[in-house]
Amino acid sequence: MEFKFRHAKPMVIPAPMVQIRPIVPVPMTTRFSRIPIAGIMVADHVPSDESQLPARVFCRLQLALDRTFSPMQSGLAPIDANPVMALADAYPASHRRSFPAPTRPAGFDPDVDLGRLAVDGPYSSYVTRSDSGIFQWDLSALEGFEVHRGLRSPAAVVEFALDAPSRSLRATRIDSELGSCTPGDRDWDLAQRLALCAVTTHLSLIRHFNWLHLMCGGPLSFTTRNCLLATHPVRRLLQPHVYATHSSNQMVTLDQMAPGGDFENIFSFTHAGMCELFETTCADSDLRRFNPELDARRRGVDSDELDLPAHENFLGLFGVIRAHVERYLGSYFDSDEAIAGDEQLAAWVECLDAYVPHGVPELAGAPLTRSGATQLLATLIYFTTVEHEALGSGVWNYQLWPDVQPPRVYASGQRLPLDVYARLVNANFTLNVRRTPLMSDFSSLALDARGEHAFRVFLEDLTRLQGTMDAAPTTGWRIEPRMLKANINA
């Protein structure tokens, strides 16, 4: 893992090539015979311009070594009870020279504060308000899938009470396989660990990989390639955010979802349980989840009674992206009629709607206008940059503290064995590998001077926002422009 991290170099994103061979969406099980999931559609091939031979060779070598010399060894001793010592054992000094060790979130100490974690960390997009006014995390979708022997089901529902004077949340009840627990109950601490296990499991498996990478990222890339010519201005706008998606998705799918991969060896589910979970939840993917304005309204948390620092952080980033899209489109389309009359754009929106289960029509509107196109394109760029950062590298400071937030909970009460924890650390380490920064000058991808100007102003806006954040107190959860990568690629 350290070799991969040290030798990874950000790719240079080229201008789009003429599409010779269309990408045909096929069921995942057709492309990956050892992953029996039919409801997820993936590319039938990796386009030639995305071919990354050294990375593919390394990936296949790593998979072969894992099968021959499995990193999983039954019967290993549990990790140290002291989380700092456990991390020191699994994340040695050589790794820390490549990337700093995680910092402990404020919501973990001195006591677990689920209310704080619900608004200022990577799990802030999970809190919802029901019609009856109850705030909650509902992770019941994880219930009913096969888990490894001796593990508890990572499913939970957490209810929060609003403290109006402090504009904050406080966890008041957790329902799980332990039953219904409230603060002061004997199992309350265990229920909190199970709730955090549930939310981090859903984030990593479902929201990040199933919904973002597979259900939205893949379709965005193949519809853009298939429907928009290399000379279309929107094709050039999206190029930094879709390039190499299929090659990356292929490698990461094999590494994480194939039998013996990361997902079944880190989280609670067996391979069969994981595949059934992905099959069941793929249709719940909704592009509107990745638009911070619409998502807050849909979750009922857009009122002014609750402080939502992470959401405010996301809104600031989304605003810069939306301004970029609006400025760029205005350079090429002088009216709503020009947008509505573009046959390539119409075909692209129709194809995207056919493969992304929910959200495209609501974002784009009908007929397509400059406002609708801006909303849709800003959402697409936001999920490939900001949302992906929050769900991937953004959990670095959270997932490596299993005393509070374990990836699996043992019914016996035992701590994680060393092989599971080491694999968790390595998986998160590689999520922070160097990739193409969003704060890059992409003007060389533009068709002409209009596009070049729009790309350069976007970089100026990101730089200005970064300066504003630099002047504010630091936090362990804030997503900043300099952290963002241009796309979802590994």
- Does some domain include residue 79? no
Q: What is the pLDDT of residue 131?
A: 83
Structural domain total, the chain: 1
Q: pLDDT tens-digit profile of 153-203? A: 999 999 999 999 999 999 999 999 999 999 999 999 999 999 999 999 999
**Dihedral pair phi/psi, residue 25, rounded to 5°:** -70, 130
User: Which comes out higher in pLDDT, residue 291 or 72?
Assistant: 291
Mean pLDDT of 280-303: 96
The pLDDT of residue 485 is above 90: yes
* pLDDT at residue number 403: 97
Residue 33 and residue 211 in contact, taking contact as beta carbons nearer than 8 Å: no
Q: Kindly state the percentage of the chain with pLDDT values over 90.
A: 87
| 39/19 Cα distance (integer angstroms) | 26
Q: Band of the pLDDT at 75, cuts 50, 70, 90?
A: confident
| SS3 letters across 417-452 | EHHHHHHHHHHHHHCCCCCCECCCCCHHHCCCHHHH
Mean pLDDT of 210-228: 98
Least confident range of 21-30, 68-77, 271-280: 68-77
Closest CA to 147 of 470, 436, 360, 407: 407
pLDDT tops 60 at residue 2 = no
Give a yes or no: residue 194 inside a domain: no
66 occurs within a structural domain: no
- Percentage with pLDDT > 70 across the chain: 94
Residue 142 resides in a domain? no
450 phi and psi angles, rounded to 5 deg:
-65, -50
Residue 467: how many other CB atoms lie within 10 Å: 10
Q: Which pLDDT score is estimated for 58?
A: 53
Residue 209 binned pLDDT confidence (cut-offs 50, 70, 90): very high
Which range marks the domain in which residue 427 is found?
Answer: 2-47+204-483
Q: How far apart are CA 152 and CA 141, in angstroms?
A: 15
163 is a domain residue: no
What tens digit of pLDDT does each residue of 125-141 get? 999 998 888 999 999 99
Q: Which of residues 65 and 276 earns the better pLDDT score?
A: 276
- Give the pLDDT confidence of 308-357 residue by residue, as tens digits: 999 999 999 999 999 999 999 999 999 999 999 999 999 999 999 999 99
Mean pLDDT of all residues in the chain? 93
Residue 99 inside a domain? The answer is no
CA dist., res. 420 & res. 94, Å (int): 20
pLDDT for 306: 95
CA 189 vs CA 193, 288, 399, 486: distances in Å: 6, 34, 18, 39
Whether residue 352 is contained in a domain is answered as yes
Model's pTM, two decimal places?
0.95
Q: Is the pLDDT of residue 452 over 90?
A: yes
Q: Provide φ and ψ at 438, rounded to 5°.
A: -65, -35
Indicate whether 323 belongs to any domain. yes
Average pLDDT over residues 247-258: 93
Residue 476 region by backbone torsions, left for phi larger than 0, else alpha for psi between -120 and 50, else beta: alpha
Burial of residue 251 (CB within 10 Å: 0-12, 13-18, 19+) is buried
For residue 347, what is the domain's CATH number?
1.20.245.10
What pLDDT is stored for residue 59 in this prediction? Answer: 54
Q: Which of 301, 110, 260, 137 is nearest to 207 (CA)?
A: 137
Q: Smallest Cα–Cα separation from 357: which of 408, 419, 283, 298? A: 283
Q: What is the pLDDT of residue 35?
A: 97
Evaluate if residue 62 carries a pLDDT over 70: no
Nearest C-alpha neighbor of 118 from the set 132, 130, 142, 136 = 136
Q: Is 268 helix (H, G, I), strand (E, B) or coil?
A: coil
pLDDT confidence tier of residue 476, bands split at 50, 70 and 90 = confident
Is the model's pLDDT at 64 over the cut of 70? no
